[in-house]
Amino acid sequence: MNAVKRQKNRKVLLMGKSGAGKSSMRAVVFSNYVAKDVRRLGATIDVEHSNIKFMGNLMLNLWDCGGQDGFVENYLTHQRTHVFSSVAVLIFVFDIESREFMADIQNYYNIIQALEECSPTAKIFCLIHKMDLVQARLRIQLLDERVELIKAQSRGFAETMEFYATSIWDQSLYKAWTQIIYYLIPNAHTIEEMLKQLAEVIDARELILYERTTCLMVTKVTRSEKENPYHDRFERISSILKTHKQSMAKHTGIPAGSANFAELQIKAAGFMFFITRLTENTNLAVCIPPAEHIFNTARLNIELSKASFASLDVASRKRPVEGSVAGSSSTGDLDRA
């Protein structure tokens, strides 16, 4: 057995005009800040590098690039190859209330040219940020107008890029970053297949996999035929988990990034729900029918499946054989329970 797992390093650029909210969203997602605390953050000077270990061996090499005109000019000229080479994802942030939006578009176009030249296979996620500052009745129309203007300047990336309206004050930020992380995880589909098999074994209505440090959803499986009216429930759970971690940190003195819980349970008349640790880097949220024997069996099967999920190598691992969770011995354990 190869004890050394290769690390998957993905370069991510976080760009946009100064004051667009890049560092604030990074602090909320990765540093366990709450929205009201980001006001004390200063402007980013040049490039701030963060190596964020995510989902085992996946390392996000996040470049938070200062948006002042002088810095951007330097990126595009003297550091062009250094900044824009080997990029997996560009996250470009637009301030929805910018008074110089056309200048922002021109700045974006110049960056897109450099990206197309140095990293033509990169994926672009465009976040239209600070949407909470726009009147609710005007948001959809204004968002559509901005998206059309941005796509017109996106060159060869226009058809594959994704847009999200975001704010640090609601669940929209978690939704956008969940999609970004999902794209970066190379074995996300393998994890989904394993979750589907586990959901069948334990008769789960829904399974949701969360990264433990950031509380971002990695992926989910839904089996219930009845549609849940709360379409933002996954992001809501992320927000609740993050708030709970901050509360634990406040009352225990443990840093928020390290604060975690063993298990959370909710038993109601119509369903049972619990969140438990699945691997070193993930928590699993489980929604099942309201029966004590199903609850106990689910917990036992999840315990038996932990080794299968922990063995996944995000850097390089073949897909499991159809019909197994991650090898015959693990599947047998699940069936016996």
Residue 51: other Cβ atoms inside 10 A: 9
Predicted confidence (pLDDT) at residue 223 exceeds the cutoff of 60:
yes
Q: How many residues does the chain have?
A: 337
Q: Mean pLDDT check: name the lowest of 1-10, 106-115, 210-219.
A: 1-10
Read off the pLDDT of residues 69-90 as tens digits, 9 standing for 90 and up. 888 899 999 999 999 999 999 9
Domains of the chain: 8-184 (3.40.50.300), 188-336 (3.30.450.190)
Can you say whether residue 14 is alpha, beta or left, with left for phi > 0 and alpha for psi between -120 and 50 degrees? Answer: beta
**Positive/negative CA dihedral, 152, 62, 129, 240:** positive
Q: Which uninterrupted H or E stretch holds 49?
A: strand 47-54
pLDDT at 93 over 80: yes
Of the pLDDT bands very low, low, confident and very high (cuts 50, 70, 90), residue 53 is: confident
Band of residue 238 on the pLDDT scale cut at 50, 70, 90: confident
Return left, alpha or beta for 273; rule: phi > 0 is left, psi -120 to 50 is alpha, else beta.
beta
pLDDT value at position 240? 83
Alpha carbon distances (Å) from 276 to 70, 95, 148, 192? 48, 38, 43, 18
Q: Give me the helices (H) in 57-128, please.
A: 69-76, 80-84, 101-118
Q: In what order do the strands lie in the sheet with 58-65?
A: 47-54, 58-65, 8-16, 89-95, 123-129, 162-165
Q: Of all residues in the chain, what percent carry a pLDDT higher than 70? A: 82
Is residue 263 packed enough to be buried (19+ CB in 10 Å), middle (13-18) or exposed (0-12)?
exposed
- Please tell me the predicted confidence (pLDDT) of residue 55: 64
Helices 292-310/328-336 angle, 10° precision = 170
Look at residue 181 and tell me whether its pLDDT is greater than 90.
no
Mean pLDDT rounded to a whole number for the chain: 82
> What whole-number percentage of the chain has pLDDT above 90?
41
pTM of the full structure: 0.79
Q: Which of 10, 327, 90 is nearest to 190 (CA)?
A: 327
Predicted confidence at residue 111, as pLDDT, reads 95
